[in-house]
Amino acid sequence: MNGMQLGFLRIFLAGLVLVPVALRHMRGLSRSTWLALAINGFVGSLVPAILFAWAQMRLPSAVAGMLNALSPLWTLVLAVGLYGTVVRKKQVLGLLLGFVGALGLMSLKDAAGAVHWGSAGLLVVATACYGLSINVVRNRLSDLPAVAISALALSMTALPAGVAFVLTGGWTAMAHHPEAPEAFAAVLVLAWVGTAAALVLFNALIKRTDVLFSSSVTYVIPLVALFWGWMDGEWIGLPHLLFGAVVLSGVRLVARG
């Protein structure tokens, strides 16, 4: 499977498992609520799932994890642009630091000496999608329980993602691969744990706190990504760690303001 097919399958499985929950919460919702749920499902889940899977066909997982820490920065930028959130001087400095660090990470060569600007750019777009989705959940879906938001949003994407998976040749590619059962099991765990369950918990955090605090959980992601990258034998040099630290420093300034 390619990155696009993996993203479609992941979201299809995540949405499918939450359909029974979604059916209990879908009555009496306004058109604006459905629109906000669609943004959360398609922009906040489906698009990033495809972009991350596609980008990581070339980028090390550790670099992807570091770039994922841009989510709080985009969250603040979009909160200012869409909802008039007041920004402080330290947060502006944090934004600048974060994006400088991201540019540094994007410019680094891999073990073969290649620079993958395009793949890294996909991850920057994906984190902007996360930032938009976080703002929408906090400002337009505050009346719904976190489990309802996650179930409705992901269930909306399940059928389109499943159809797209088949139409792009994902089913054929998986059916003829000798390691298909193991690969499907891995995607299933990723979908149910890393997408469905994680989105429920994350939306609950957004509703209990503010958008910047909730998005700052990405502090942990680079550490986890570095660990798994090391376990997989990925090449990570000192420049990766330095630019990653610059990104996290910017995120810290934004979150603390």
Q: What are phi and psi of 256, to 5 degrees?
A: -90, -25
> Is the model's pLDDT at 228 over the cut of 70?
no
Share of the chain above pLDDT 90, in %: 40
pLDDT of amino acid 156: 95
Q: How confident is the model at residue 210 (pLDDT cuts 50, 70, 90)?
A: low
> Is the model's pLDDT at 51 over the cut of 70?
yes
Return the higher-pLDDT residue of 66 and 15: 15
Burial group, residue 32, by CB count within 10 angstroms (0-12, 13-18, 19+): exposed
Mean pLDDT for the stretch of residues 49-62: 85
pLDDT of amino acid 113: 72
Mean pLDDT for the stretch of residues 197-205: 85
Q: Average pLDDT, whole number, for the chain?
A: 85
Q: Find the range with the poorest average confidence among 131-135, 233-237, 243-247.
A: 233-237
Mean pLDDT for the stretch of residues 79-97: 84
pLDDT of amino acid 212: 59
User: pTM (2 decimals)?
Assistant: 0.83
pLDDT of amino acid 219: 57
Measured CA angle at 196 (ends 190, 198), to 5 deg: 85
pLDDT of amino acid 103: 84
The HSE-up count of residue 253 (CA atoms within 13 Å, CB side) is 18
Return the higher-pLDDT residue of 40 and 90: 40
pLDDT of amino acid 162: 95
222-254 exposure pattern, b = at least 16 Cβ within 10 A, e = fewer: beebbeebeeeebebeeebeebbebbbebbbbb
Return the higher-pLDDT residue of 13 and 206: 13
CA–CA dist 81, 104 (Å, integer): 26
DSSP classification of residue 218: G
CA–CA dist 67, 222 (Å, integer): 8
Mean pLDDT for the stretch of residues 70-83: 86
Please name the amino acid found at residue 146: A
Among 22, 105, 96, which residue's Cα sits nearest to residue 64?
105
Q: How confident is the model at residue 64 (pLDDT cuts 50, 70, 90)?
A: confident
pLDDT digits (tens, 9 = 90+) for 135-179: 999 889 988 999 999 999 999 999 999 999 999 999 888 888 888
> Is the model's pLDDT at 215 over the cut of 60?
no
Mean pLDDT for the stretch of residues 239-257: 79
